[in-house]
Amino acid sequence: MDGIGGTPVTIHMKTTVYHGGNHEETNAISTDGQLFTQGQTTYLRFQEPPEMNGSQDKSAASVTAPPTIQLIKIRQGEISVSRKGAVSMKQRFIPGLSTEGMYHSPHGPLAMKTKTKSLEFIRDTERSTWTLQLRYTLHLQEVYAGEFDIRITIKKV
């Protein structure tokens, strides 16, 4: 995808993590990115804001950390997420299936296992908007990490 302009878009991502009981946390980010379509596959590419990879502090280590680029590949019935930079990971999400991947951070690698509960990608060509909804359970190092509900709203600039 490098070297290809893509369509400029604004991205709003809201992630809610349910840890069981009444404990949940919600994070939201807004950023700019590019949307590409090749055949039946749609790609969304953007640079993560520093707060997405835990770089909220202003210490020397976080200031010099490389930016993380996220690429989301959307095909009929599945998506793949790839992150490269301060943190890196690759993971596929297919409704009803468990998939495995690795998450690499400055603290070391973690084995990931996800079970995708639902996945929906809606295109509204009249309004030049797209919505991606993903719900899955996550285990890190075979330990339950929570149920994730992610909603990404994409709007053509």
Sign of CA dihedral 92, 31, 135, 52: positive
- Which pLDDT belongs to residue 49? 86
| Residue 121 within any structural domain of the chain | yes
- Which pLDDT belongs to residue 1? 42
| Residue 131 within any structural domain of the chain | yes
| Residue 127 within any structural domain of the chain | yes
CB 46 within 8 A of CB 31: yes
Residue 52 has pLDDT above 80, yes or no: no
CATH classification of the domain holding 24: 2.40.128.20
The DSSP-derived string for 83-118 is EESSSEEEEEE-TT-EEEEEEEETTEEEEEEEEEEE
| Residue 2 within any structural domain of the chain | no
User: pLDDT digits over 58-92, tens only?
Assistant: 444 445 678 899 999 999 999 999 999 989 999 99
Domain that holds residue 99: 7-156
pTM of the model: 0.87
Domain count, the chain: 1
Per-residue confidence band for 151, with pLDDT thresholds at 50, 70 and 90 = very high
